[in-house]
Chains A and B, each alone.
Chain A
Amino acid sequence: MRKTVSLVLGLVCVVLLTFTFISAGRVLRSGWQLPREPDREQALYRLVLITQELDTPFWDRVGRGAKEAAEKAGASIEVWGSYDEDREDFLKKIEIAIDSKVDGILVQGLDTDEFKNLAKIKAAFYGIPIITVANDVPMADSLRRTYVGSDQFLAGQMIARQLLSDMGRSGTVILMGDSREEYYQRQRLNGIHDVLEHYPDVKTEYVETSDAKERVIAATQGAMNRIPDVSAFVAVKSSIAEAMIQEIGRRSRIEPYHIYSFDDSPNSASLLEQGKLDGMIEQSPEAMGRIGVNRMIEWLKGETVPLDTEGYHTEIRMAKAADAP
């Protein structure tokens, strides 16, 4: 009897103490984890990559390339920007970057006066170097140190050549572009014209539209009404390709038409996979980010001064629907 009682008491004692100790352990373990201290050594350079199209596959890749390169070089970089080409926000980000006195700005060029103003006057005033990435703005307008990205003129030429080989030496081509006519778009058009002007049988029709989907649809409708015998489309700005193809598909079958675009829009790749695009210019966004950062750091360190004002062109290649899996 006595033995049982003391056994039970001992058991209760052990259980209580166990729970108490477990609880005490939890109290001591939980919480109080302060965030990490900043790395002792400050990053050598603080760089900012600013784009108008955050969270798109193309710019994500640019950002990835840039971050890798920055990490290797011991610089810190942040990717800022606006969504859906919100220009106001984009410009504000640039201004903040300049006011924040970052060491260098990698920016998606925007061919507007405000941008040029910021780049030419304010950034220059603060002595902050700007490198345009993917989309260029001429140096004379922006005082950019250099441009890193595809040779858009060459891209236009490649599209045109592909068009010729697919369509033949005659036919009507509708070139559809943004009414804002940015520099890179003009370059692409120039490239296309540069090839096609040697083939008088190939007629080109340039259609201007704006970004809005309805406008693209309306423009496509208008163009197809005006030129019923059209045989090829080129979306000079890749973001209008989807709406354009949708409208074409609504009116007739897509297959007879030769449709081309560029890869710097979120849905280009899927359109190519579905076979709706016949060809697409593939660029090298990672290389753009990487080279952009490296050139910037070279310039900041004074290793390569001045940078090649013509720009550093990254690789481009033609992706054809036929090649797509």
Chain B
Amino acid sequence: MNSIQKKIWTLVAVVLLIMAAIWFALTYYNQKTQDRYNDILQRYLSMNEVTNASQQTIAALYNYLLAPTEANRGQVDRSKKALRKARMEVIVLRNADNDFALTNYMNLIDSLVETTDRSIMFQSEKETEDSSKAFSEATRISKYISEMTLTLLDTDLKTYDRFYRGIIEQSSELKKLGIWLLLSITFLLLLGTYWFSLSITRPVQKLTQAAKELSRGRFDLRVEVSSNDEISFLAKMFERMRVNINNLILEIQQKAQLENELQQSKLLLQESQLRSLQSQINPHFLFNTLDTLSKKAYLEGSEETSDLLANVAGLLRYNLKRLDRSVTLYEEVKVLRQYMEIQKARFTDRLRFHADIDESCLYVQIPGLTLQPIVENAVIHAVEPEEDGGTIEFRIRDGEERVTIEIADDGPGMTELKIKRILEEHTFETEGHSTGIGISNVVRRLRLFYGLADVIGIESGEGRGTKVILQIPKARRGEDDKALDRG
């Protein structure tokens, strides 16, 4: 994770490498040129050496012929040796153009040595004339050697002309190359440095931008940095932080919503309680009175009236007690029967009530006072306005997971719009309801209780009657129960 450092090292390494390469190339080239120059100089020097050696030989010979001493003899031998050495050095100078001349040159040197020897030989044999003749010949040969040296140098200059010009040309080309190289490297380096610095600063800028957005409260923008260094690591962490914050916010929002719903249901309950309390001016007084009335009616032999009064009292008690807690379907059905008894007494033949109840499923939990308001609704709309009354059918059927409760009437029915409004829980005038609980209240409580939207359905049409279908799940969501119980 030291990749910015790595990048910097890489850049420096590349620059160093380029510089080293150029330095090596230049040094190598320089060395090569130096070697060439040395070779060239060596050529000229070794040719010149021959001339010098031959002249020295002549001088030494002359001295010896004048004064044939041992010392002078040694001098001659030494200069001859030098001449032979020079001759050996000249051999390497051979090339195609001076082949012939060089052979001649070397043979001339040989001739000079031979002639010198001859001169010394004649001298030792006291043949002075021949000796001096040989000496003059040696002198001539030495002169020829000098001349030939010049000729060879001349040939060399001609032969090597292109070579020398090549060297000059190359060095001038090298100068140009240097300038081009400098320009190219400068340009590339600038470009590289720009790109390199950008690769560091761009992620930083992106990160800065992202931080700015976050600080402004925008948590929905992804933080993306496409590099492979520390900045990218930072960005990843940053992104994770953003996602976490985002999730937390969502969670808080959900909780708030839940709280809101709870609050609503509480309010609803309190409303119902308030209403019931309004009508509960003195419930004990009312119950006692109703009981007394019932007993009195019984004692007076009016048993029917007595039952009716008992039913009313039971209904009232139930109404007051059971609103805020769940009850079993059995209790609901029982209250419903009491209510229907009361209504029967009111409408006599006009109200026809058929109940079809599967007794095996009366154990399911259901919020209190849900069936009675629906049936009351049916009575109000389907029985009361009709002259010859109406029929209300009540059915409880067992299903696999749900218990289906159907309340059907043969009244005038209602419009689609109205059904929709009911199911969307719009409040209506609850006028005329004995318990003071409207259908919309029931719908809302059912949904809150089970946490299901399809717990209640309505089938109806103009003139086709109305059928309310409750589908009660056999198992309830526990927490909703608790929440409701707490309220």
Contacts and interface: CB of A to CB of B under 8 A. Distances in A.
Interface of A: 9, 12-13, 16-17, 19-20, 23-24, 26-27, 30-39, 43, 46, 76, 78, 92, 95-97, 99-102
A90 to B, nearest CB: 14
Given A13-B191, A36-B95, A101-B107, A31 B100 contact: no
Nearest to A47: B100
Contact of A23 (B103, B159, B160, B180): B180
30 contacts: A16-B184, A16-B187, A17-B184, A19-B180, A20-B183, A20-B184, A23-B180, A30-B166, A31-B166, A31-B168, A32-B170, A33-B162, A33-B166, A34-B163, A35-B95, A35-B159, A35-B163, A36-B96, A37-B96, A39-B99, A46-B103, A99-B144, A100-B103, A100-B105, A100-B107, A100-B108, A101-B107, A101-B111, A102-B104, A102-B107
Given A16-B187, A27-B170, A96-B144, A36 B97 contact: yes
Contacts, number: 103
A46 B104 CA distance: 9
A96 B148 CA distance: 10
B99 A27 contact: no
Contacts of A97: 104
A102 B107 CA distance: 8
A31 B111 CA distance: 38
Contact of A76 (B94, B99, B191): B99
A249 to B, nearest CB: 43
A95 B107 CA distance: 13
A30 B170 contact: yes
Nearest to A27: B173
Contact of A16 (B36, B94, B101, B183): B183
A33 B95 CA distance: 13
Contacts of B176: 23, 26
Given A33-B162, A46-B104, 8 more contacts: A12-B187, A16-B183, A23-B181, A31-B163, A38-B96, A99-B144, A100-B104, A100-B108
Interface in B424-478: none
B99 A38 contact: yes
B236 interface: no
Interface of B: 36, 94-97, 99-101, 103-105, 107-108, 110-112, 140-141, 144, 148, 159-160, 162-163, 165-170, 173-174, 176-177, 180-181, 183-184, 187-188, 191
A127 to B, nearest CB: 13
A20 B167 contact: no
Contacts of A17: 184
A31 B173 CA distance: 10
Most buried by A among B162, B168, B176, B188: B176
A11 to B, nearest CB: 11
A150 B104 CA distance: 31
B100 A78 contact: yes
Contact of A99 (B107, B169, B170): B107
A16 B184 CA distance: 6
Contacts of B36: 32
Most buried by B among A34, A78, A96: A96
A101 B110 contact: yes
Most buried by B among A78, A95, A100: A100
B183 to A, nearest CB: 6
B487 to A, nearest CB: 65
Contacts of B187: 12-13, 16
Query: 10 shortest A-B CB distances, which residue pairs?
Result: A31-B166, A100-B104, A36-B96, A31-B170, A101-B107, A23-B177, A99-B111, A20-B180, A16-B184, A35-B95
A16 B180 contact: yes
A271 to B, nearest CB: 36
Contacts of B184: 16-17, 19-20
Nearest to A76: B100
Nearest to B188: A13
A58 B188 CA distance: 69
A9 B191 contact: yes
B177 A32 contact: no
B160 A20 contact: no
Contacts of B96: 35-39
Contacts of A27: 170, 173-174, 177
A51 to B, nearest CB: 17
B115 to A, nearest CB: 8
B104 A30 contact: no
A160 to B, nearest CB: 43
B110 to A, nearest CB: 7
A78 B167 CA distance: 31
A251 to B, nearest CB: 47
Contacts of B103: 46, 100
Nearest to B162: A33
B163 A99 contact: no
A192 B163 CA distance: 58
Contacts of B108: 96, 99-100
Contact of B141 (A16, A23, A78, A99): A99
A17 B181 CA distance: 8
A99 B176 CA distance: 51
Nearest to B144: A96
Given A46-B100, A99-B141, A33 B181 contact: no
Contact of B163 (A16, A32, A100): A32
Most buried by B among A13, A19, A39: A19
Contact of A20 (B97, B162, B181): B181
Contacts of B100: 43, 46, 76, 78
Contacts of A78: 100-101
Nearest to A6: B191
Contacts of B165: 31
Contacts of A43: 99-100
Contacts of A12: 187
A26 B173 contact: yes
Contact of B167 (A13, A31, A38): A31
Nearest to B95: A35
Contacts of B140: 95
B166 A37 contact: no
A32 B100 CA distance: 24
A34 B105 CA distance: 22
Contacts of A31: 163, 165-170
A57 to B, nearest CB: 24
A38 B144 CA distance: 24
Contacts of A37: 95-96
A33 B94 CA distance: 16
